Amino acid sequence: MNMSLTHPLKSILRIALVLLVIIHGLLLPAQSLDELTSKYERMPLDSLLALDGRSSEIRINAIVTNLIHDRYVYAGDAHEAMAAALRLMGIAERSGSDSLVVLAYAAVGSAFGMVNDISASLEHFNMALELARRSVNQNLQGFVAKEIGILYRNGGDHRTALRFYQQALALPQDQVQERSRIMSATGFSYLALGMLDSALYYAKEADVVRVPSDDPYGYVGYQGRLGEVYTALKDYDLAELYYKRALAADTFPVPRPIAHAAAGYARMLISTGRPQEALGMARKAYATIATSRDLSEILPVAQVLAEAFEANNTADSALAWMKVERALRDSVQGSENRGRLQAQLFQIQLKEQEVAKLKAEEVAARSHNIQFGIIALIVITLGIFLLIFSRTSVVGAKAIKNLSLIALLLFFEFINLLLHPFLDRITNHSPILMLLAMAAIAGLLIPLHHRMEKLITNMLVSKNNRVRLEAARRTIEELEGSRKDSAAS
């Protein structure tokens, strides 16, 4: 092979290899939101907080923030859940991804639900559901429909909750975990309505986690739900089996489902005449949930503990725990009042974030318009100068008048864009004062425009006369030259 061709061929091969690598990278499918979630969902809260906002990929930041929000929801920390929801909304809006915006709306809805602002919660969940339907993301549609169902369930409206659960179940779900959550919630509502056959069917369908470490929250919740259903069916042997399975996973940090299962087990033991065991189980339930910030989670457990003391004929202790229950109920009422204040503050923060977003968009739009105005002014000004200093072109006064009028309008709009924020501040958003200010600017620009138009027209007339005289001189010289040639011949 000719050595002179070797180096160019090597260079071409290297370039082709680089292009192939780039194209391969571009064609690789990006990880889905579900895959990203499964990558980070098992991390403890402190690890997620260390990752929060650190990634260069905006979707990872969104997923991490959403998981942080979920952890605070499970912990009953409404304040931190609201803060995480606000951060997630900001990230989602910057991303421009409909799927992330759906997650953000759902997070805001959950945060409002924690402080019992049902109206605001439902409003944001409905916005999430509408956007999920438009984006044709069936996983997200099912997730949001389930969350709306839980909102109605928490309000005691189990029939409406079931309607949304059925909507969610009608959609194919890629994630087994999410579908089992919907099944379990459906079983709970059927149980609350006394429809025990349906409750048992959905509780069994939800029971898909075989090892607690795969999904501790789900495992404990599903076993406890089956214990509740079998207790309602008076099959106490099976109920006890499932309660014991649930409580065997008490080493995992999932206090809510463990306390719920222990309380249910205690009630079953009371009903079957085993008060001593019931008291021990009720104490376990209370010890598990006592540090929760959500007093509404502690209240039913305190009630079970009072019932257990009463079943053991310890009237003093039963009375003491009834007083604790009443105090907790009063505290829950006070917490709901504080929650309403938190909800109002959250509404204000959301509004401020929306206003800041609109202002940023307005500034960006004004900046683009100013840039376009500068480009247009430069093009027209250059065109006029080219016409003035061109040695050959002849332009009429009418064309110059039209060009100068366009330049005046562009310059006026340019001045308007520059001064609008300043005028808006000093006039305090008064339309009349803004109109007067713009009229004053126009009053200054129009006389200046007339003078510039007159100057440019005079320059062009002078130039046109020179061009015409030069053309006439050349024509005369050509004619004279042709006559001389004819005479000579």
105-to-1, 125, 326 alpha-carbon distances in Å? 66, 6, 36
Q: What is the pLDDT of residue 236?
A: 93
Confidence class for position 200, pLDDT limits 50, 70, 90: very high
Confidence class for position 207, pLDDT limits 50, 70, 90: confident
Which two structure tokens, joined as six digits, stand for 174?
Answer: 């890629």
The backbone region for 417, taken as left when phi is positive above 0, alpha when psi lies in -120 to 50, beta otherwise, is: alpha
Which two structure tokens, joined as six digits, stand for 479?
Answer: 């004619």
Q: What is the pLDDT of residue 364?
A: 66
Q: What is the pLDDT of residue 22?
A: 47
pLDDT in tens, 432-459: 776 777 777 777 767 766 666 666 666 6
Q: Is the pLDDT of residue 395 over 70?
A: no
pLDDT in tens, 218-265: 899 999 999 999 999 999 999 999 999 999 988 888 888 899 999 999
Residue spans per domain, the chain: 359-483
- pTM for the complete prediction? 0.62
Q: Residue 125: which residues within 8 A CB-CB, separation 6 or more? A: 105, 106, 109, 144, 147, 148, 151
Residue ranges of E strands in 309-412: none
**Average pLDDT over every residue of 70-88:** 84
Q: What is the pLDDT of residue 345?
A: 56
Q: Is the pLDDT of residue 296 over 70?
A: no
pLDDT in tens, 32-43: 777 777 788 778
CB contact at 8 A, 159 and 143:
no
Distance CA 108, CA 83 (A): 10
Confidence class for position 21, pLDDT limits 50, 70, 90: very low
pLDDT in tens, 151-163: 888 888 899 999 9
**DSSP string spanning 171-199?**
S--S-HHHHHHHHHHHHHHHHHTT-HHHH
Confidence class for position 376, pLDDT limits 50, 70, 90: low
Whether the CA torsion 21, 27, 30, 32 is positive or negative: it is negative
CB contact at 8 A, 69 and 92:
no
